[in-house]
Structure 1
Amino acid sequence: MSSSDEDQPNEIDCDTCNTSELSKLFGESLRITSEEAISLQKDYVLYLDNSRDFGRIAASTSSNSVHLFDLNSDKGFTQIQRCDIDSINYTEDQTICGIRFGKEDVNTLLVAAAHGKVYRYDLRSKPMPVQTFENVDANQKPFMCFDVNADDSVLSIGTEQHEGEANLLLFDVRKVSSLAVYSDSHRDDLTQIHFHPSKSNILASGSVDGLINVFNILESNEDDALENSLNTESSIQTINWHPKVIMQIDDEVAGDFISCITHTNDFQLFDVDECEQIFECERKKITKLIKRSSVSDCYLINCHTTAFGDIILLAGSNFNGGECLRSLTLHEKSFKPRNNFTDNKQIIRCSVFNPKDNTLITGGEGGIVTVWGDWQPKNIDTHKLKEKVTTKKNRKSTPY
């Protein structure tokens, strides 16, 4: 599964075909409709999340700040300064490890800090947390990732590994109390937690140990809760749920797939119901598919699902400041070129996608939040991106 034997010596990464061929392969290029620089400092945008209605976007940075943006077609894409979450003095020991809007309540924003607390904010009030969830275990492990379920009733948090054990914590959001601790299912850092988008009781977790575990949290104990365990044989970077209708099995959604991007920049797809891997695409192959020459510069970002059920894989090259950004579509168990994103200014670290209008929003190492697609704001003259003077360095390793 590893791509280490595919890494090439230092070279200039470039397209493997001309501009005309790129246009034919990737169809119409997607351009920037709007973007904002979070600051003039060298802040990375590490996490993005969207409200249910896509009216707001939240972004957190490497300097441990959280910023809110209004994605309103009448006002344009604007940062809401008054809602900037600055009430908690996050320090190096309190690194933000994730942000989430409430799945039902668009006025709820949750911010997780690695030191062992998750803060819930009500965006209608002053930027002070209205609830705090924390691990009261004597052997408290730093938090790594978290998610809230489809009806905002349960919060799940994944921890670092300590003495061969990593915990998955469950909290009752309404009572601010612990529901359960799963401690036997993972043996290394938890890197991803995602509740099922519509089934409030189904949870998937991914770990450095290579396992993707699927739980039914309604069960009374961890052994009964564990429904499936999928082995990627690699360290897991991201996981995502996808409806099974994407593979055109039948006319109705008959279950789910889970996609996985590994820390070696390989892609895997699993059938959750059959508990098996059904598709795999290594970094070397993806490099060829996005028409780039250097495998060591190719990196995978995230997967999204369109309104028609297609899986989109977002990938790029970290050469020359990350100017190359492209997407592929999974079709009949193979990837096909989809979009070429022109004028990208940074190595991308995170993304969210609105399937209703095919709007993609990205954040990255330039501290910029970018809106791509057909979304057209009204009453806006030009991009409001602040000028940033930065020195780009050629990078030969994955940014993650």
Structure 2
Amino acid sequence: MEIIENTEIDKDTVSSKELESLFSKKYNLLAETAVTLKKTYINKLSVSKSMNIAVRLLDNSIEVYRLDKSSLSKVCRLSGHQQSLTEVVFSTKEDHLLYSSGDGGVKLWDTRTSGLCVQEYKDEERQPHSYTCMDVSCSGRVICAGTETEQNDAYLVFWDQRKAEPLGGYWNSHTEDITQVKFHTDKSETLASGSLDGIINIYNIEEGTEDDALQYTLNVDHAVEKLTWLDHCRLSCATQYNDLQIWDTTTADKLKHYDREKICRSIKRSRADECHVADAYLGADGRPVVLAGSVAGDGGVLRSVRVSTKSNKLEPLTNFAHNKQLVRCAAYDKQRDILVTTGESGLIDVWGGVTDGSDEPDEEAVPKKLHKSLRLSDKRHKPY
């Protein structure tokens, strides 16, 4: 049987005039910077509450920027890392940056000193793990890192941020590489982990044992690519098949499931196999938003759609017409209505929502320096 290759070029399914009308929520490009003149790729992004921005580059360096009104200024560059960096996360003390690496290291850096390592976390009692992902709780107290598969199991390791020695770990919850660990944005005891095994686990790490800590196991059928907490109970999951699921973590119910074909149609593109899901977040109106694009051509197509309140449909929201790269990472600030995107062209783009139909950015949405201290919770956690 002759196999006929699909040579159709991915393209818009509606006219440019219809795109303008359908994607009615406008965002202006407030700031843009190229992290290097060389060809590079940004695949990790962290944005603090005061709009400090950290990105991980292909050469395993980290660059930190500060957004001040409509400009991005470089704070520092952290370089010289031998192993692949797998995650970059700001601590609640916003001048402190955490990262995990493939050589079994989790380190805490002070960005005010041009990159001084102030703490290194390792599991000295066991052979060093290869960490694939990492996160810190909203209280700033607990760090969790996930590992590659070791002897048919993958592990979660925990630390108190103030101490180098681990608190303990969970050893029996995943059978393949852990790709994501995400603490709840408001509840420091709640943790979600996702893996290549197609499983999401929800934990209460205040429980004394792993069995008691495991609250729910969610079967997403495909390898987990990205987890995002939308609100107090809803968790979004983008899979490596570029579909998106939304789960209620208090009942273990799957609330929404959008496959690649449906997302492709919703962003008004013609080829589902070129559709790429960048992320999901909770929009300014409290509705989940899916950020997606096309890998065709230069990857410049980037659009957002939001979940309908009346049906299972995805409604057109924004066409980011000035986007110049295939976006791999995004972070949204709901209070300021600001979206930060990075991707395969090494650009950091900051988008500001337009209000009242104006083409000018909302000046109140542009961040100012925040002068408030963030205290760590006094409550002790026992994730072991």
TM-score by length of 1: 0.84
CA drift of 1:376 comes to: 6.6
- Whether the 8 Å contact between 2:122 and 2:164 is mirrored in structure 1 is no
Match of 1:381 in 2: none
CA drift of 1:28 comes to: 4.2
* Residue 137 to residue 79, structure 1, CA distance change in 2 (3 Å): farther
Match of 2:228 in 1: 240
Match of 1:159 in 2: 147
1:134 aligns with 2:113: no
CA drift of 1:80 comes to: 1.7
Q: How far apart in 2 are the matches of 1:350 and 1:136?
A: 33
Helix, strand or coil at the partner of 1:321: coil
CA drift of 1:288 comes to: 0.6
Q: How far apart in 1 are the matches of 2:137 and 2:338?
A: 24
- Whether the 8 Å contact between 2:78 and 2:114 is mirrored in structure 1 is no
Match of 1:365 in 2: 344
Helix, strand or coil at the partner of 1:185: strand
* Residue 42 to residue 101, structure 1, CA distance change in 2 (3 Å): same
Match of 1:275 in 2: 252
Q: How far apart in 2 are the matches of 1:346 and 1:38?
A: 13
| Residues matched between the structures, number | 352
Helix, strand or coil at the partner of 2:211: helix
1:24-103 maps to which residues of 2 (within 5 A)?
Answer: 24-54=21-51, 56-73=52-69, 76-81=70-75, 83-86=76-79, 89-91=80-82, 94-102=83-91
Helix, strand or coil at the partner of 1:326: strand
Q: How far apart in 2 are the matches of 1:318 and 1:63?
A: 23
1:219 aligns with 2:207: yes
- Whether the 8 Å contact between 1:265 and 1:282 is mirrored in structure 2 is yes
Q: How far apart in 2 are the matches of 1:145 and 1:115?
A: 12
Give unmatched runs, 5+ long, in structure 2. 354-360, 365-384
Match of 1:383 in 2: none
Select which of 296, 302, 320 maps to 1:341: 320
Aligned-residue Cα RMSD (Å) equals 1.8
Match of 2:298 in 1: 321
Farther-moved stretch of structure 1 (347-356 vs 20-29): 20-29
CA drift of 1:307 comes to: 3.8
- Whether the 8 Å contact between 1:43 and 1:61 is mirrored in structure 2 is yes
Match of 2:373 in 1: none
Helix, strand or coil at the partner of 1:223: helix
Helix, strand or coil at the partner of 2:298: helix
**Which letter maps to 1:57?**
I
Helix, strand or coil at the partner of 2:261: helix
- Whether the 8 Å contact between 1:261 and 1:267 is mirrored in structure 2 is yes
TM-score by length of 2: 0.88
Identity of aligned residues (%): 33
